Amino acid sequence: MQPMNPPPSAALAPRGLSPYGQPARHRFEIPLLILAIVVTVFAYLIAIASAAMGKVSDIVLVLLAAPIIIYYFRGTTFAGQRVNGVKMSPTQFPEGFYLVQEAAARFGMKKAPDAYVVLGNGLINAFASGHGFRRFVVVYSDLFEVGGDGRQPDALAFVIGHEVGHIAAGHVSYWRQLGMFASSYIPIIGSSLIRGQEYTADNHGFCFRPQGAPGTMGVLGAGKYLVGQVGFDEFANRSGTETGFFVWLVNAMSSHPVLTWRAAALRDRSRHGKILFRPTAPAPQPQFGPPQTYGAPPTTVLGQSPQPQPWNTPYQA
């Protein structure tokens, strides 16, 4: 597949794009990944040496069995979606299906991942994973209510762009997960890497549907019924005013950036999201406005490349 975009101008770089027109990877993701791999390799070497000396503990057994454990859980997770989820197609959840196709094309992927809808029971969530050479996205059913008529359809598009972005950035690779295995049990290191990956995925979501950022933060913060009452700028402004050791600790131990920091990173596209230390005071000029009056996104976000052609509806297919 030919690249979707030419290299963007300097004006586009702060909008979260790499020099090649694709969403930028968080600047600390690769350094943290290298650190995680080094930690995991040392842990494996220690486990092998311990086993050779006859000192076998539960931790040693888990480390030695990590390749099988990861393979097993990836396989059962994928199988669970295949037999219990509703697979998106041109006739089942066509809106989500075409969004997945368009996001994959936008990010230069050779093949779009499979996508499934599962029962949410009020939980707002989505995730991406893979098994073997297959990649898939799972969207909880409640997110489609956010994307329904009269609600926040752009929020659904942003979330799908975010999850497809995880796949495009290589976050669901078996070898990456194996390399991160031991670091995930070490406070700060493993969670910091995962937060860096989340910021990278947010860059993908923003690149795919920037106007969906406020609605996504609103629904994650207040739920699908009250999303319209969330002021994105007021929410993001608190990232620089909520202080204290326990605020820092909650973020440091979390697998996702705390929402106020995440909102601040989505609003201020001139710098990368914060991993460990809170953002500085908010910019004086809000970008998105108060609830229900979000401004139009910058017209240059996606560069000068042609947009994917619209897909046929189920009735035109």
Residue 288's pLDDT is 60
pLDDT digits 0-9 by tens, 268-284: 888 899 999 988 865 54
Q: 85-94, 147-156, 198-207: which range is least confident on average?
A: 147-156
- Please give the Cα distance from 200 to 215 (Å, whole number): 19
Burial class of residue 79, CB neighbours in 10 A (0-12, 13-18, 19+): exposed
- Please give the Cα distance from 26 to 82 (Å, whole number): 32
Residue 225's pLDDT is 84
Residue 2's pLDDT is 40
pLDDT tier for residue 17 given thresholds of 50, 70 and 90:
low
Across the range 290-316, mean pLDDT stands at 42
Q: Which of 204, 131, 176 is nearest to 30 (CA)?
A: 176
Residue 56's pLDDT is 78
- Mean pLDDT, the chain, rounded, equals 83
**Can you give the pTM of this predicted structure?**
0.83
Locate the domains of the chain by residue range. 15-229
pLDDT digits 0-9 by tens, 227-266: 888 999 999 999 989 999 999 999 999 999 999 999 999 9
pLDDT digits 0-9 by tens, 106-156: 999 999 999 999 998 888 999 999 999 999 999 999 888 765 544 678 999
Residue 146's pLDDT is 67
Q: Which of 129, 108, 130, 149 is nearest to 23 (CA)?
A: 108
Residue 84's pLDDT is 95
Across the range 29-45, mean pLDDT stands at 95
Residue 18's pLDDT is 65
Q: Which of 1, 305, 9, 12 is nearest to 168 (CA)?
A: 1
Is 207 a residue whose pLDDT tops 70?
yes
Q: Where are the alpha helices (DSSP H) in the chain?
A: 29-52, 58-64, 66-84, 94-106, 142-146, 153-168, 174-179, 189-208, 213-222, 232-237, 245-252, 259-267
Q: Is 215:157 a contact under the CB 8 Å cutoff?
A: no
